[in-house]
A and B are shown apart, each in its own frame.
Chain A
Amino acid sequence: MITPLNNQDFEALIKENHQPILADFWAPWCRPCQMMLPVIDQIATEYADQIKIVKIDIGEHEDLAEKFNVLSIPTFITLVHGQEDQRLIGQQTPQNLKKMLIAAIEKANG
């Protein structure tokens, strides 16, 4: 499922959620981010039961971008048990993203 981060507290969302998280740092003005939309949709369907995707608009969440040291978008970060696992910066192929997700799912399942 894709959850756009609105006013919720991201920390609380991480704590409540037991699945690995894919944090997608993006902005509406960013072309490579727009190009990733169909890829993210595809991944959200494929991994619906295994991963939670959180879309973080950096225009609205500058604090989170700073906290995660995001200086370029799109940036994709997987979080396992609340900790950063891997990150990918820039436009990605579905294959690259899937590799990162599978690693996070395997890690989460111990």
Chain B
Amino acid sequence: MVKEFPLIIIGGGPAGLTAGIYAGRSQLKTLIIAEQPGGTIGYAHRVQNFPGFPEIGGLELANRMVEHLQKWPVELLIARVGQIIKKDDGFLVTTDQNQEYRAEVLLLALGTEKRKLGLPNEDRFLGRGLSYCALCDGQFFKNKTVAVGGGGDAAVTMALYLAEMTNKVFLISLQPELNCSPSWHQAVKNQKKIELICDNQVTELIGSENLSGIRLKNPYQQQTELPIDGLFVEIGSAPSTTLTEPLNLATDSEGFIKIKANGRTSQSGIWAAGDLTSGSNKLRQAITAAAEGAMAADDIYRYFKQKG
């Protein structure tokens, strides 16, 4: 028999978990389905901007959020949702393992997916010197030379983390200046192992079996080829459309789901919160995701209360 819930939250990052805590406190029977409970914040090396934690490891913060949720009577299912179908009386949600659940309303808190460089041999070098996860793979590059592609907060923290174990980190930013918070800017300046290359871009991955270098768009110290042992990519992210496209939700020009202040999307019965929305004025952070999750859950509670 298909299990039924008034509310199913898909995604268990800061947005989904906060919504879950609010729904639990409102005694709304809720199921959270998340492939990775804790979400993307678990990949952050150091988090310094979540109130209550002057400095905390991202994974610890993610785990604490999951533990916090578990204090409330909310079911958490660790699974990947493969399909959402709109029915007359709600939604049918199917996981990759073919488990089916019914929801009267949905809250989408799926986060985003990392952008790739879009270079032809990117897949071939993945795990051969190219990585999207410094926390996972940094250890393989002890005392080596690496580059980080990107110039935002996440790229800068990635470079700072890698500088702790490597000999040198080239930080390659597309913009003429780093696009990170001033405190990270200062940290980069203080870290002598980081060499900043601004207004530039990786255009080619070079190597036979493993990556051995990259080609830059503009010459750096008269060279366009930069010999490196590893390249870490952190050039932002965008919402994945696989699940949401069939739901016909209004999005902005970059594919982020448009929401009202209360989290409602353009389709009735569907709320959205967190990094996948255009609701945070492009400040995609744990705190803004959590806030959107809280507001959406509160509005969903009001919706059920009004319905009686």
Contacts and interface: CB of A to CB of B under 8 A. Distances in A.
Nearest to B58: A31
A19 interface: no
Interface centre among B128, B131, B135, B140 (most CB of A within 10 A): B140
Interface centre among B78, B136, B210 (most CB of A within 10 A): B136
Interface stretch (B1-9, B15-23, B35-43, B185-193): B35-43
B127 A89 contact: yes
A73 interface: yes
B133 A32 contact: yes
Contacts of A33: 136
A69 B209 contact: yes
Interface string A70-110: 11110100000000000001100110000000000000000
A95 to B, nearest CB: 8
A54 interface: no
A72 to B, nearest CB: 4
A65 B35 contact: no
B136 A30 contact: yes
Interface of B: 35-36, 42-43, 59, 78, 80, 96-97, 126-129, 131, 133, 135-137, 139-140, 209-210, 230
11 contacts: A27-B139, A29-B135, A29-B136, A31-B36, A31-B42, A31-B59, A71-B128, A71-B131, A71-B137, A73-B137, A75-B127
Given A31-B133, A38-B78, 19 more contacts: A29-B59, A29-B136, A31-B42, A31-B43, A32-B136, A35-B35, A35-B36, A69-B210, A70-B127, A71-B129, A71-B210, A71-B230, A72-B126, A72-B131, A72-B136, A72-B137, A72-B140, A90-B126, A93-B80
